[in-house]
């Protein structure tokens, strides 16, 4: 492929071997994650008979935290709302282990923690699982301009999340980084999928380890403009 060309490579042998190895690892991760997610949520699907039917089962609503860390906030929420199905994901296995210890200690059957990358999680999420709430608590701000592409809040993600929201679903975002807050406000404002909600209160206040370290923070709540479109 010529430099600057958008044409696909005509010969797969031109791709580095590491590329195909990573694709294989990714597929294995997603298969394992899909199995774990199915095991965690199958009881929810079985007990849900009020939501509209989809190809993969009756619609089930969950509260979802992306980047749950040690699970402190989501465990607190699940303790307050034990009948709500909650799922938290994080990339660091040791964090998920600690989060699951919190869950088991409190016998919270509807709380689930999984090691997963956000986009891979969304790829394998069954169609019938819808987000009642999506929470981003103090995600990495990636402050350097060349790293902004690594920020969680991006237009493709916002579009995908909007498609997976339940009716009246909300997105909750909180950061101590002014620049990341401004970035998120700008992306939500420019997105055709979301509108900022200035009326809804924060879903649940429970100071996390990171929040306790901070003098101030910024929060925004948004709702999808269209559902499943």
* Residues classed as catalytic: 140
Kindly compute the dihedral angle of the four CA atoms of residues 206, 210, 213, 218, in this order, to the nearest 10 degrees. -70
- How far apart are alpha carbons 111 and 133 in whole angstroms? 14
**Cα separation of 15 and 34, whole Å?**
28
């Amino acid at each position: 492929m010529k430099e600057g060309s958008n044409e696909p490579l005509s010969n797969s042998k031109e791709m580095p071997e590491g590329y195909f190895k990573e694709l294989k690892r990714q597929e294995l991760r997603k298969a394992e994650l899909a199995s774990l997610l199915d095991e965690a949520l199958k009881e929810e699907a079985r007990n849900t008979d009020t939501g509209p039917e989809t190809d993969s089962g009756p619609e089930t609503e969950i509260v979802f935290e992306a980047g749950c860390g040690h699970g402190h906030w989501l465990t607190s929420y699940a303790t307050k709302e034990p009948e709500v199905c909650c799922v938290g994901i994080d990339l660091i296995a040791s964090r998920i282990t600690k989060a699951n210890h919190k869950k088991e200690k409190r016998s919270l059957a509807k709380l689930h923690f999984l090691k997963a990358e956000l986009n891979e999680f969304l790829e394998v999420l069954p169609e019938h699982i819808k987000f009642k709430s999506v929470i981003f608590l103090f995600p990495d701000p990636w402050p350097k301009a060349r790293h902004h592409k690594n920020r969680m809040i991006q237009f493709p993600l916002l579009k995908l999340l909007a498609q997976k929201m339940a009716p009246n679903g909300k997105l909750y975002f909180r950061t101590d980084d002014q620049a990341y807050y401004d970035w998120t406000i700008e992306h939500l404002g420019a997105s055709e999928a979301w509108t900022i909600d200035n009326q809804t209160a924060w879903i649940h206040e429970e100071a996390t380890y990171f929040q306790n370290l901070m003098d101030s923070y910024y929060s925004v709540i948004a709702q999808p403009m269209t559902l499943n479109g």
